[in-house]
Structure 1
Amino acid sequence: MRRAVILGVSAVLAAGALTAPAAAYGPDPVSDDYQAAAGAVVAAQQAAAADLKFGACPAGTRLKAPIQCGRVQVPVDYSQPQGKKISLLVSRLKASGPASARQGALLFNPGGPGGSGLWFPRLGQADIPAPTRQIWAASARAYDMVGFDPRGVGYSAPISCVKPSDYQHAPTPDPRHPTAKVKTRERARAQARAAGCLKRSGALLGHMTTEDLARDLDVIRAALHEQKLNYFGVSYGTYLGAVYAHMFPSHVRRMVFDSVVNPDPRGIWYGANLEQDIAFEKRWADWRAWAARHDKVYRLGSTPAKVMASFDKAMRKLAKHPAGGKVGPGELHAQAVQASYYDPQWVPFAYQLSRYLHGDAKPLTAAATPDPGSAKNDENSEAVYLAVQCGDASWPRDWQIWERDNSRLAKKYPFETWSNAWLNLPCASWPVHSSHPVDVRVPHGAGLPPVLIVQSERDAATPYSGALELHRRLAGSRLITEVGRGSHGLISFRNRCLNDRVDRYLLTGHTGPHDVRCAGHPLPAPTGAQGARDANAGRWY
């Protein structure tokens, strides 16, 4: 997942801590954009009438029978449905249960924006590891499991901003405290990246908003001959689902929102990224406290402050002598960010850091050295991330606003602030018109059935306040909270309290009469040589 965003922005803005650009506020364009709305109807009708043929998936997907793939045509510009079209690659595994038990297709988006969901049908196959197979077994019997590459991603008219061969730069410096020279360099890089996006992506770049992706989702629904959409979205996929629910409430049958982007338009997307920086600082503190509790295993320090000192020591060492020539402070920081996203990464990251500080750099270099083989996909993913976020809303064009807000924030929350700023800075010079954020609201009586929201309390990528906000905006929704935990993407965890309720909802449509708070999954427990593995892996709780 690319930096999945948002949250709690409203209260912070009111306090004057963050600044969102005035242009990000405005009327919801959905009701005003009649041409695009009409074009979406035409495109869906055309897709329903077309003969969607499923066959072998492209070799590069590594998806083999019984999974099949097909292509769905969508307009580049929905206001011109008869104009230029692109094709989206869709993957499908048919429901394994009897025909009488089939409940339609379940579409999945993993987030990003920029993530490919083609792999989703793999979760329904019998040859995957038992714990994952158990999580998805009930859904795989009842639903055709459907994944897809959204527009601009992978096999669906991929866009680009820079040559993949020029994308990876390693080793990279510590991103937490940039000098004036670094800031000047990053500003130049961001301007070049924005210009490169237009040069390498062409007309599609101006039609990459979440609204465009939501219309695509409805065309895929129609192409599959489904009267109603069943949808599972994770991270940014929740925002895509929320916008779809706002635009097409009567087309929804079931929807699960896992790790929720805050849909408040005041945070889309500049203020959201600033708010995310605060949450990552807290999550980084969670890992340091955990590592301190396991000091006998990792010898990184018996207090969070001492663990921080160990991390800083490693950052200084790598600045002087990058491990393997490619792993510098920036690469170590990226590993720390992954640990802040997902607590299954706590054990391997602690192990890598510990071994490096005690004279063995091999685990760190194996994990953190950039893979040239992934450069093309990684660059494409980042290009889509920028195209969607920069296109969804206007961002500040004045560098002084970025300098002021991020400098102020980094004094107290340095862990992720400037790294996040550099990722998003191309939006300051975005070369195509930006839209207005959708004011997602679906009241009672709009035709939206009850939907299910699942969220951990300490998620940094999509903080908890976002789930509360979406809950308020989607009438009749139910919220399941994992208490005291912070991993991102909860459906991958084997928490019966949560998984059983998701299964029940997908199979019956019942959300339950009340919101539910589930006990958190056990924190990772180091085991194996030097604590290299997590004792909780594969266990239900």
Structure 2
Amino acid sequence: MRTTPASLGAVAAALSLLLCAAPAAPAAPLAPAARPAPAPPGGRAAAEDRGAGLVARRAARAAAGLAFRPCPAAEELPGPVRCAVVRVPLDYARPDGPRISLTVSRVAATGSGGAARQGALVHNPGGPGGSGMYFPLLAELPQWRRIAAAYDLVGYAPRGVGRSAPLSCRDPAAGAGVPTQVPVRPSAAYKAERLAAARAYARGCAERAGAALAHYTTANNVRDLHVLRAALGEPKLTFLGSSYGTYLGAVYATRYPGHVRRMVFDSAVDPDPARVWYRNNLGQAPAFERRWHDFRAWAARHHDVYGLGATPEAVRASYERVRAAVARTPAGGVVGTGELQAAYLRAAYYDDVWPDRAAALAAYLRGDPGPLTAQAAPDPSEAGAAAAENATAVYTAVLCNDAPWPADWAVWDRDNTELARTAPFETWANAFLNLPCASWPVRDRQRPVAVGAPRPGLPRTLVVAAERDGATPYRGALELQRRLGAEAALVTERGAGHHGVVGGRNDCVDRHVERYLLTGDTAGWRVTCGPHPEPAPVSLDGRAASARGALLPPAV
């Protein structure tokens, strides 16, 4: 299940595309990656936690702290943002063993309006596989001004992401520019091809990463966050986690409740250990189907602008006409049904792309494939391909390492065939994305943390969720609030489904988040805000469809 980075204000982070189709021949059984070195007595997890505590104490005692300097050109961040690196062990059971560097970005608290500095606000945008390096840029947005006055805004690239010990599982150029064709109802032969592709991808992860592959986990992401907090000179963590970042924050709160100051969980992943991660992925299918309906219902209400049909079913028929056409002849030579699916999945994540997506369908049906090609074609650049592969690799490694997954293809086939009967839009694309976990070459996978228990000393926290979110269905917010206990408050955006609620779309939600971050107070145990306004339709004659965007992938 991919939870793509939730958008914050006008800034969004890009993730990866769907895995390309791979070899038709069945792959040989995978050789397991080398086992990590034996851990000291008490078990590996206990040794890793002791190692994290040791490294964090050392970081807290370091006199100089992190050395923030102008950011390297590779980060593409403007002057006000400063960058640093924090060194962490690859394997926390060996705290003095090999180390990796995580990149960190910061804009210092402005102090405007006489605001007193409250410390650092650290953000994780989700994925897993998303980079938060852009986060300090939000200090320039009006809706973040009061928060930026009181807090240093701190972003970072988690292990494996970007320049933080980057992980990849295949040559990023493999298949670049070749359109993919994904059938609506996959045949047995097509499923066999995708199973072979998943095995090949998992094998590539093992071959490229070696024994290090086992160390890309949520547990280690939490330990890295603990070290980053200490290196920033913060005795307690103030944290904003979006999407997968909510699960990361929830595990941190469970492991280190005494080091939590304030935490905002935006678009919450269901932390129930029985659902991490296989069942959470299954749970996305009906939620995405609802959001796909929401987009089609919106387009139908604006039939006078787009001409796609006056009912959701008529809009679906228009989409299927386009789908059948690009299956025969890829749009612009690069957009097949796989690229089309990825582009319109983004409409199930973010309703602010609805006008462009509807306009692209309408233009295509009028004989102009240009807008669809611009919106759906993958980034052809070498850097774009590398970033997409990097995000997919980290996503895959973390989820596959985090929990046991069914190893029997028959289980996947049965569960997803049943789901696809009522929720066809995203079911199979999501299943194929996660299928490397069925043959993952790491013997000793993690066991999901029982979030919330025990949690002595955990202060008040704030969960924020949209009722119709497809990527992180609303039940996850209810479960997270329940597990965090009576001190956890929940703000619900009623009747909305945009993935990522915080940051300038809904004034009611943002007032609650700002109040909590600035004062620690919440308005009540459960609070409801009305939905943000729907996007306005864009006339085909009034504005061209948007240029190529960063397409977000199928989901956690």
Cα-to-partner distance string for 1:493-541 (whole Å, 9 max, x where unaligned): 431111011111110010123311000011112134447589xxxxxxx
Tell me the equivalent position of 2:22: none
Give the number of the structure whose residues are more often helix, by fraction: 1
Tell me the equivalent position of 2:10: none
* Distance of 1:295 and 1:513 partners within structure 2: 41
Q: How much has 1:78 moved relative to structure 2?
A: 1.0
Tell me the equivalent position of 2:413: 403
Cα-to-partner distance string for 1:396-416 (whole Å, 9 max, x where unaligned): 111111111111111111110
Contact between 1:289 and 1:304, CA under 8 Å: does it hold in 2? Answer: yes
Contact between 2:115 and 2:149, CA under 8 Å: does it hold in 1? Answer: no
* Distance of 2:315 and 2:172 partners within structure 1: 36
Q: How much has 1:49 moved relative to structure 2?
A: 3.0
Give 5+ residue unaligned stretches, structure 1: 6-29, 126-132, 535-541
* Distance of 2:405 and 2:454 partners within structure 1: 29
Give the secondary structure class of the aligned counterpart of 1:188.
Answer: helix
1:180 aligns with 2:192: no
Tell me the equivalent position of 1:26: none
Tell me the equivalent position of 2:498: 487
Tell me the equivalent position of 1:470: 480
1:45 aligns with 2:54: no
Contact between 2:356 and 2:538, CA under 8 Å: does it hold in 1? Answer: no
Tell me the equivalent position of 1:417: 427
* Distance of 2:118 and 2:473 partners within structure 1: 32
TM-score of the two chains, using structure 2 as the length reference: 0.87
Tell me the equivalent position of 1:111: 126
Tell me the equivalent position of 2:21: none
Tell me the equivalent position of 1:331: 339
Q: How much has 1:66 moved relative to structure 2?
A: 2.1
1:57 aligns with 2:71: yes
Structure 1 counterpart of 2:417, one-letter code: S
Tell me the equivalent position of 1:128: none
Cα-to-partner distance string for 1:35-59 (whole Å, 9 max, x where unaligned): 1111111110122233321112121
Trace 1:73-472 onto structure 2 (pairs within 5 A).
73-97=87-111, 101-125=116-140, 133-166=141-174, 168=176, 170-373=178-381, 374-432=384-442, 433-442=444-453, 446-472=456-482
**Cα RMSD for the two superposed structures:** 1.8
83 and 450 in structure 1: CA distance in 2 versus 1, 3 angstrom threshold: same
Cα-to-partner distance string for 1:419-451 (whole Å, 9 max, x where unaligned): 00110000011011311111101467x111100
524 and 431 in structure 1: CA distance in 2 versus 1, 3 angstrom threshold: same
Contact between 1:174 and 1:315, CA under 8 Å: does it hold in 2? Answer: no
205 and 117 in structure 1: CA distance in 2 versus 1, 3 angstrom threshold: same
137 and 415 in structure 1: CA distance in 2 versus 1, 3 angstrom threshold: same
Cα-to-partner distance string for 1:439-498 (whole Å, 9 max, x where unaligned): 101467x11110011100000000000000000000210000000010000113431111
TM-score of the two chains, using structure 1 as the length reference: 0.90
Q: How much has 1:169 moved relative to structure 2?
A: 5.7
Structure 2 counterpart of 1:485, one-letter code: A
Contact between 1:480 and 1:517, CA under 8 Å: does it hold in 2? Answer: yes
167 and 57 in structure 1: CA distance in 2 versus 1, 3 angstrom threshold: farther
Contact between 1:443 and 1:474, CA under 8 Å: does it hold in 2? Answer: no
Tell me the equivalent position of 2:519: 508
* Distance of 1:514 and 1:305 partners within structure 2: 39
* Distance of 1:93 and 1:506 partners within structure 2: 17
* Distance of 1:533 and 1:293 partners within structure 2: 20
Give the secondary structure class of the aligned counterpart of 2:280.
Answer: helix
Contact between 1:116 and 1:150, CA under 8 Å: does it hold in 2? Answer: yes
* Distance of 2:121 and 2:53 partners within structure 1: 21
1:517 aligns with 2:517: no
Contact between 1:135 and 1:494, CA under 8 Å: does it hold in 2? Answer: no
* Distance of 2:160 and 2:242 partners within structure 1: 19
* Distance of 2:68 and 2:446 partners within structure 1: 35
Aligned length: 502
Contact between 2:123 and 2:241, CA under 8 Å: does it hold in 1? Answer: yes
Tell me the equivalent position of 1:33: 45
* Distance of 1:410 and 1:392 partners within structure 2: 26
Contact between 2:305 and 2:540, CA under 8 Å: does it hold in 1? Answer: no
Structure 2 counterpart of 1:119, one-letter code: Y
Q: How much has 1:120 moved relative to structure 2?
A: 0.3
Deviation larger for 245-254 or 159-168: 159-168
* Distance of 2:84 and 2:183 partners within structure 1: 42
Q: How much has 1:298 moved relative to structure 2?
A: 0.6
Deviation larger for 86-95 or 507-516: 507-516
Structure 2 counterpart of 1:506, one-letter code: L
Q: How much has 1:2 moved relative to structure 2?
A: 4.2
Structure 1 counterpart of 2:69, one-letter code: G
Contact between 2:121 and 2:239, CA under 8 Å: does it hold in 1? Answer: yes
Contact between 1:245 and 1:442, CA under 8 Å: does it hold in 2? Answer: no
Contact between 2:462 and 2:516, CA under 8 Å: does it hold in 1? Answer: yes
Structure 2 counterpart of 1:394, one-letter code: P
Contact between 1:298 and 1:530, CA under 8 Å: does it hold in 2? Answer: no
Tell me the equivalent position of 2:83: 69
* Distance of 1:365 and 1:118 partners within structure 2: 29
Q: How much has 1:372 moved relative to structure 2?
A: 2.1
* Distance of 2:130 and 2:312 partners within structure 1: 34
Give the secondary structure class of the aligned counterpart of 1:101.
Answer: coil
* Distance of 1:49 and 1:509 partners within structure 2: 28
Cα-to-partner distance string for 1:142-163 (whole Å, 9 max, x where unaligned): 0000000000101110010011
Tell me the equivalent position of 1:539: none
31 and 451 in structure 1: CA distance in 2 versus 1, 3 angstrom threshold: farther
* Distance of 2:342 and 2:240 partners within structure 1: 28
Deviation larger for 337-346 or 177-186: 177-186
109 and 121 in structure 1: CA distance in 2 versus 1, 3 angstrom threshold: same
* Distance of 1:175 and 1:435 partners within structure 2: 34
Contact between 2:488 and 2:525, CA under 8 Å: does it hold in 1? Answer: no
Give 5+ residue unaligned stretches, structure 2: 6-41, 546-556
448 and 274 in structure 1: CA distance in 2 versus 1, 3 angstrom threshold: same
